[in-house]
Every structure is written in structure tokens, then in C-alpha cells.
Amino acid sequence: MSNEPVGIKKLFKDKSMQRLGVVVVRSYNDFISVPSSGTEGLDRRLCVVPFRFPPTTPDQDLDIKLRAELSGIFAWAWGLSTVEAQTLIRWSGSIDAVKEASIERFLNDHPEVKYLVDAYPSGQDSVQAFSLYEGYVNWAKGNGHKPCSNTKFGTLMNELGIPHSKTNGGVIFYNVPDMVKGFDFAAYLRIAPRSEGPESTKTPPKTHSNPEPERVGANPP
């Protein structure tokens, strides 16, 4: 999680924005689920770092060795500027393993979006809202999920930015994009800038964590 400002509220009193000054790192053997009761912002700020290649011979003293390095690790983290810290999180999706694991976690936690990926891998224009929701309900029941309400489903479509239009009679139609190649999940999860548009860029900015190649191993001035 990033150290972005969060709302601090004293009930019936003052409201303000403050930084908590913490970054939480959690280690799990399974995907992390996030409750849907007002924590959607947190859900889009989870960055999953997979460890897919366990050592052949685990180091039983690794925790002790890491404790000896804590001062150096802290010094590195403390030395990062706010911009550098935000850049590390914002560009974490430039690492394929992180991007794939983060997207997989998100789809695992959001069957509504997984339905769109399964049902509309190439996208489809002019899908009536009722038909889209009805297809989702049938898909959810067939895959062991409890369907969400029509209202929540429509809200999620809006959050995803799925284009829609309304006829004079009030009928809503969605233009579902290519959910496999056309939807920028990494940008939606805020682990990478958008691949298209004014914010698009292919190269992450240089920080202390990814210095210029010619300076790696160079003697300090």
C-alpha cells in the first residue's frame, strides 16, 4: 500500500486528510481478499510480489540474517524521496511477474470482472444491460459464486469505465472492450501508467532502485 493521504474523521467533529506514515507488507500463501464494504480503494492499491521459485535447500537462519540487515534496509527505504517511493509502486507493474500476479489476484477477488474476461475476451458492442447482467448471474451460479445485485454490477461497470449509452426509452447498452488485450488492468490497478493516452510511457523513471546501467557497481563520488 502506498502512503497516500487518507481521510481522518472524528465523528460529528472535524475532518482532515493525513498521511499514516506506514507501508504495510503482508506475506500470504494464497491470494489476499479485500472486503467490498467501502474498501474498493484499498483493493486497487494491493501490489502482489510472487515468489515462484522456492530454494532447493531453505535457509533456516534466513530470518536471523535479515535482522542483521534491517538497518541497511531501513536506511535505503528512509532515503527514498516521496516521489521515488511513489514511482516504485506506480511502476511495479513493469515487472511481468508482479503485473500478472496482481491481475490474477484482482480477478480472483472480483468474479464480476472475471465474467467479462471469460464471456467477452474479444469484446462486444451494444450489449443490453439486462442481458449482460443475466449472463453474469448464470455464469456466477455455474462457477460457484454468489451473484451480486444488478445495482452493484452496474456500479462496477462504471468504475471499470465500460462505455455505455441509453436510448430514449431508458434502455442501457454497454460496449464491452476486448477484456484480454484491450483493457489495461495494470493501469486500473495503479501499478503501471496507462499504455495509451497522455499518461502513456514505456520506460520507468530512474530511481535509486533502478539506476542507470553504467552506474551500477561504480565507485561513489
Q: Are residues 148 and 190 in the same domain?
A: no
Give the model confidence (pLDDT) of 156-182 as tens digits. 999 899 999 999 888 999 999 999 888
User: 135 is in which domain, residue-wise?
Assistant: 124-176
Q: Which residue type occupies 7?
A: G
Looking up cell 450489449 gives: 127
Q: Which of 29-43, 87-101, 125-139 has the highest mean pLDDT?
A: 125-139
Query: What residues does 174 pair with on adjacent strands?
Result: 127, 164
Is 91 inside any structural domain? yes
- For residue 185, how many other CB atoms are within 10 A of its CB? 21
Non-local CB neighbours of 107 within 8 Å, separated by 6+ positions: 113, 114, 117
Is 117 inside any structural domain? no
Q: Are residues 32 and 72 in the same domain?
A: yes
- Compute the radius of gyration of the chain from its Cα atoms: 21
